Chains A and B, each alone.
Chain A
Amino acid sequence: MIGRNVTRADSQDKMAGATRYTADIAYPEMLHGVTVRAPMAHGRIRAIRRREDAGVDWSRIVFATAQEIPGQKTVQMIQADMPFLAWDEVLYKGEPVAVVAAPSPAEAEAARQAVVVEMDPLPTILTLEELVRRHEQRAPGLEELSRWHVGHGDVAAALAGADVVLEDSYTTPHQEQAYLETNAMIAVPEGDGRMRVEGSLQCPYYVAPAVAKMLGTDLDHLHVRALPMGGAFGGKEDFPSLLGGHAALLAHLSGRPVRMVLGRAEDVAYTTKRHPSWTRIRAGAKRDGTLCGVEIDTVFDGGAYVTMSPVVLSRGAIHAAGAYLWPAVSIDAVAYRSHTPPNGAFRGFGVPQTIYAIECHMDRLARACGMEPHIFRMKNRLKPGDRTATSQILDETVASREVLEAALSMSGFEEKRRTLGAARAGGGRVARGIGAAFYWHGAGFTGGGEAKISARVALDLCDDGRAHVRVSSTEMGQGSHTVLPQVVAETLGLPLERVVVDPPDTALVPDSGPTVASRTTMIVGGELVTCAREARARLLEVTARRLGRDPGRLTVEAGEVRTTEGEVLGELGPLLVQALREEGARRWTFESQHRLAPHIRWDEATHTGDAYATYAWGCTVAEVEVDLDLYEVRVPRVWVAADIGRAVNPVLARGQVEGGTLQALGYALSEEVGVRPDGGLLRHRFQTYILPTTLDSPRIEVRLLEVPYGRGPGGAKGLGEMPMNGGAPAVANAIEHALGVRIRDLPITAEKIFHALGDGVGGQIGAEKRGLS
Chain B
Amino acid sequence: MGMSKTEKKSTEEVRRKKGRPVHKRLTVVPERCSGCRLCEVACSLVRFGVNNPKKSCLRVMVAYPHPVIRMPIICHQCRDPKCAENCPTDAIEVHDGVVALDGEKCISCNQCVISCPFGAVFTHEDMDTPFKCDLCGGDPECVKICPKRALLYVPEHMVGEEHRVTSLLKYAHMREIEYVEKGERKILKYADIERLKDEDKRGILQKDTGD
Answer yes or no: are A and B bound together in one complex. no
Which A residues are closer than 8 A to B by beta carbons? none
